Amino acid sequence: MAHQVNGVVALAKGAPVGLVPILVPDPGPGEALIRVKACGVCHTDLHYREGAINDNFPFLLGHEASGTIESVGDGVANVAPGDFVIIAWRAPCGACRSCLRGAPWYCFASRNASQPMTLADGTPLSPALGIGAFAELTLVDAAQAVKVSPQASPEAAGLVGCGIMAGFGAAMNTGNVSRGDSVAVFGCGGVGNAAIAGARLAGAHTIIGVDLDDRKLTWAKEFGATHTINATSIDPVEEIRRLTGGHGVDVAIEAVGNPLTYEQAFYARDHAGTVVLVGVPSPNMKIELPLLEIFGRGGSLKSSWYGDCLPSRDFPMLIDLHLQGRLDLQRFVSETIGIGDVEEAFHKMERGEVLRSVVVF
């Protein structure tokens, strides 16, 4: 049986999103039906509706969610009805060349539900990042459902499902930020501020937040930035060098998805340092860098997909850190909104008014 619920669907490139009736099937073998409790509005949802990810419209948006298991299909052992879960957009297959090599965070065949969710007329939906959680119910592969402590609030827990994990992991996993390191984070939205929080927990000594918006920089300080730079009035590369004895930072994290900030991150790092790109660029973006600089500066230029996380390992850890009072997830929640308010939340995000608007059900 399919359940009819309302979902936030992007029907065409650039068109405002709206609530549309959708059909969500009961779970088949290996699948889980989730009653969504909360789902954050991430910049990647906006990338989808702008056609910047791919052209597989219509998209069922929402991918930063927590909920409870409504029902499971045959053969599901990791979750049971009633469990409180965070939905992951990475569920390693265990069999691809990357999983077999022992690096499942690069899995090339991550699992998703096999049955499609559809519009009322049967048109298959493309769920954002294989999730689609701006809806009361969503269908995923059971391995995408990661059980965590139900003591965390649904809206705080949901954010771990994308932006927080991506930013935190960009610092801790990809950038391997360690005790005493200096770190710069370009773009202090939800992802960038999570990178700042991760760098602080990892023991970084100097943490520099860069943004164009003073509100974001005030929040960056609350998450652990020791210094902030508003790049509208100050050259961030020169200022970062000044703040680090003329050297640049050990780890420079780009959390915007823009060639300009990538170039700044590239030149703001110390010799043999690491650049981490966690911001998602649009397909038309290009960058030109002197090859000699890439060679001469050594170190590494890395990309961070989902903070190189393993959801089953990392989600419960982040929730535990939160419940211990060491990672304030609630502070990322700028406002809670209704499922009909996602388009307006995109505009608030574009105007820089929020870290995260979170749809609650």
Ligand X SMILES: NC(=O)c1ccc[n+]([C@@H]2O[C@H](COP(=O)([O-])OP(=O)(O)OC[C@H]3O[C@@H](n4cnc5c(N)ncnc54)[C@H](O)[C@@H]3O)[C@@H](O)[C@H]2O)c1
Binders of ligand X among residues 119 to 148 (CB under 6 A) are none
Window of 8-16, 152-160, 276-284, 317-325 that interacts with ligand X by CB under 6 A = 276-284
- Integer Cα distance of 306 and 255 in angstroms: 12
Q: What kind and span of H or E run contains 3?
A: strand 2-10
Closest CA to 239 of 217, 258, 224: 217
Contacts with ligand X by CB under 6 A: the residue count is 34
**Residue with smallest beta-carbon separation from ligand X:** 189
Applying CB under 6 A, among 278, 318, 327, 358 the residue interacting with ligand X is 278
Contact partner, 107, from ligand X, Zn ion, none, Cβ < 5-8 Å per class: Zn ion
Cis peptide leading into residue 16 (ω within 30°): no
355 binds Zn ion (CB under 5 A): no
Check if the beta carbon of residue 254 is closer than 8 Å to that of residue 269.
no
Cβ at position 62, least distance to Zn ion in Å = 9
Q: How far is CA 9 from the centre of its chain?
A: 20
Integer Rg of the chain from CA: 20
Cβ at position 101, least distance to ligand X in Å = 21
Contact partner, 112, from Zn ion, ligand X, none, Cβ < 5-8 Å per class: none
Residue type, 59: F
Angle between helix axes 259-268 and 236-243 (nearest 10 degrees) is 20
44 binds Zn ion (CB under 5 A): yes
166 binds ligand X (CB under 6 A): yes
Query: How are beta strands 182-186 and 249-254 bridged, if at all?
Result: parallel
Cβ at position 287, least distance to ligand X in Å = 14
Backbone angles phi, psi at 352, to 5 degrees: 75, 20
Applying CB under 6 A, among 73, 132, 158, 187 the residue interacting with ligand X is 187
256 binds ligand X (CB under 6 A): yes
- Integer Cα distance of 159 and 307 in angstroms: 13
Binding mask of the shown chain, residues 300 to 339, with x at each position contacting ligand X by CB under 6 A? ----xxx---------------------------------
**Which two three-digit tokens encode residue 88?**
């992951």
Which residues form the interface with Zn ion (CB under 5 A)?
42, 44, 92-93, 96, 99, 107, 109, 162
Which residues form the interface with ligand X (CB under 6 A)?
42-44, 47, 162-163, 166, 186-192, 210-213, 216, 231, 255-258, 260-261, 278-280, 304-306, 349, 352
